[in-house]
Chains A and B, each alone.
Chain A
C-alpha cells in the first residue's frame, strides 16, 4: 500500500517535493490576498500590509523557538506564560530604577532559565514535555501574578517602548527582529550541527544517543532557545502596549504551535521548516487582519483559524502516508 502511494506520488514532482506544504501555504496565501483585495479596497495598501507584518512579527518570534522544540520531538506549552513573566520582570526592573537595556537582558535571562527548567526536567527525568511545560506554564503565570500583585505595570521609558513601536525606515524593530531571527533560525536549523542534532532528536533519539552525542545538552539548549524566543516576544508585546500585564500572551503557545504545524513541521519530530513556520505566521496574521478589514465579528476569527489548522493537519497526515480510510477504499 505504502509503496503504491509512493510510486503514485512520484509521477508529479511537485507533490513529492519536501517543500510541498510551503508551496501550498503560499498558494493559499495568494488566493487569500486576491480574495481580500477584490473584496475590500483597504486591504492591499502599504499601511495595512505594514500592519500585517507588524502583527505577525510577534507570532514569528515565538513560533521560531517552537519550530526547534517541535522538530526535536517535544512541545512547549509554556511560551505564552514565559513571555508574560519576562515582560513583567523587565517592567519590574525598570520600575526599580534599572535602565532599559539591562532590564531587557534580565528578562531574556529569566526566559532562558524557564526554558532550561523545562529542558532539564524533560531530559534528565524523562517526563513527557507536555506535562512539564504545562507545569512551567502555570508556574510562570503564578510568578508573573505574584510580581505584579495582579495589577499591570504601566509606562516605560522611550528606550524601552522603542522595541515595540520605534521606526527604522519604513519598518519597526519587531519586524526587523523577526526577520533577523528567521534568517538565523534557518541557518542554524539547516546548516549547523546543532540543527542536525535537533532534527535527529526528533527523528531517532536512540540512534543519536548511541552515536555518543550528549542528548541532554542539546535538548536543554532547544528549550532554552524557546524560552529566550518567548522572552523576546514578551519584550515586543510589553514595549508595544507600554504595559506589562501578568496575563499577557494568553494562548500564544497555541498560536505558535498552530503556525509551526501549519508550516509543515511534523508533530512527531525529525522534520522542521523555518520558511514554513514564517509563511504560516504571515498567513494567520493576514487572516486576522482580513477578518477585521471585512468587519467580520471576532467570534469568526477563532472558527476560521481552527478550520485552517484542521485542514493543514489532515493534509499533512494524508501526505505522510498514514492513509485516511475513506480515501483509499
Chain B
C-alpha cells in the first residue's frame, strides 16, 4: 500500500509539473530569447531568405527610419484612434527563424506604442502548415478584434480565415500572400493586405546599378533565389525590366542561387569565368550578394564590379560600411509590423483602407549608409 502511495506521489509530481507549465505560463512571463544568431540565414526555405535586422538596438531611431515611417503614415492616413486597448492577434510563421523572431518583437513593441494588446503566435517549425492552421483555428476561438496573419503557404490558412470572417474577426494578411482565389471559393475574404513589393526591390537596385554604370553601360548578371519563390521571381523580374530598358546594358546571365551562400559563390565564379568584363551583379538577397563579393575578391576581380543585394541584414550593413558590398535594399521590420497593426486598427474602427499597402523601401549604398545607423 505504501508503495502505491509513493508511486502516486511520483505521478502527481509529474502531472503537477505539466499542469504548471500549461497553467502558469503567461505570455508576458515567457522568456523568449530574441538573441537568435542572425548571421547565416542561408537555408533553402523560401521565407528564411527574408533575412534579419540585427543592428545594436539603440534608443534613437535612425534618421532614415524616421523618414520611411513618415512615408508610410502618409499612406495610411487618416490614422485610427490609438490607446483603445483593442486585442489583436498576430500569427507569424515560426519562432525558429530569426526573421520572424524580429517580427514578433516588432509587433510587441508597436503594440505597446499604439496602446493595444497584441499577442503573437507561431507554428512550431517553418514547414508545419497543419499546425499553423490549427493555431489560427484556436486563435479564432478567442476574442481578438483582428488577426494579422502571415501564411506558410497560400492555401494552408484558408479554412481558418473563413472561420474568422464568420465570427466577424478582421483579417489582415502580412507578407507572403494568402490565396484570395481559394479564399473566395471557400466563402471567405481578407480585410486588408500589407506586403513588401518584391518587384520594386529589384527595380530599385537595378536603377542604382544602371545609374552607376553610366552611359557606356556594360554586362550585368542576376543571381536568383529558389526559382518559383515569390521573392525571387519578383525581385529578378523587377531588376530585369530596368536592365532591359536601359541603353547599353546587357544581361548576360540569370542563375538560381537558391538563397544559398555556397551556390551563389560558385555561380559568381562561373559568371566571372565566362564574362571577365562583367560590370555588375544583382543578387536577390544579401547572403548571395556577399558570396558573390567573396568570389570576385578571391579571383582578384572585385574592383570595378557593382554588387547589390536585398534585405539589408546586419552583415550587409557592415559590408557596405567597409566597401565590400555596394548596396542593399532595406525595409524596416519595426515599421512593417507597426503598419500592419495600424491597418488592423483601421479596419476594426470601420475606416476604409487601401486595397494593398506596401512597406516602404530604401536603397542603402556607401553614399548614404551613415544615415542607417541604428536601423531596425
Contact = CB atoms under 8 A, between A and B. Distances in A.
Interface in A7-25: 8-9, 11-12, 15
Contact of A311 (B11, B131, B137, B158): B11
Interface string B121-159: 111110111110111011111110000000001111011
A28 interface: yes
B358 to A, nearest CB: 24
B155 A154 contact: yes
Interface in A178-230: none
Residue of A241, A247, A302 with highest tally of chain B CB at under 10 A: A241
B77 interface: no
A32 B19 CA distance: 8
Nearest to B135: A292
Interface of A: 5, 8-9, 11-12, 15, 28, 31-32, 35-36, 39-40, 42-43, 45, 47-48, 51, 54-55, 58, 151-152, 154-155, 158, 164-165, 237, 240-243, 245, 247-250, 287-304, 307-308, 310-311, 314-315, 318, 324, 327-328
B27 A165 contact: no
B128 A327 contact: no
Contact of B95 (A8, A31, A297, A304): A297
B142 A293 contact: yes
Contacts of A308: 18
Contact of A327 (B10, B153, B158): B10
Nearest to B229: A151
B23 interface: yes
Given A32-B22, A240-B130, A8 B14 contact: no
A241 B153 CA distance: 9
A48 B7 contact: no
A84 B129 CA distance: 12
B143 A42 contact: yes
The 8 A-B pairs of least Cβ separation, nearest first, read A292-B138, A311-B14, A48-B141, A242-B155, A51-B137, A241-B156, A295-B27, A243-B155
Nearest to B182: A242
Contacts of A5: 3
B19 A297 contact: no
A11 B1 contact: yes
A55 B131 CA distance: 9
B15 interface: yes
Contact of B4 (A12, A51, A311, A315): A12
A301 B124 contact: yes
Contacts of A43: 141
B59 interface: no
A13 to B, nearest CB: 12
A45 B23 contact: no
Nearest to A48: B141
B66 to A, nearest CB: 31
Given A297-B27, A298-B122, A311-B14, A287 B7 contact: no
A58 B133 CA distance: 13
Contact of A42 (B23, B94, B142, B182): B142
A206 B171 CA distance: 61
Contact of A291 (B1, B22, B125, B186): B22
A292 B1 contact: no
B134 A247 contact: no
Given A42-B142, A58-B130, A307 B21 contact: yes
A281 B355 CA distance: 42
B141 A47 contact: yes
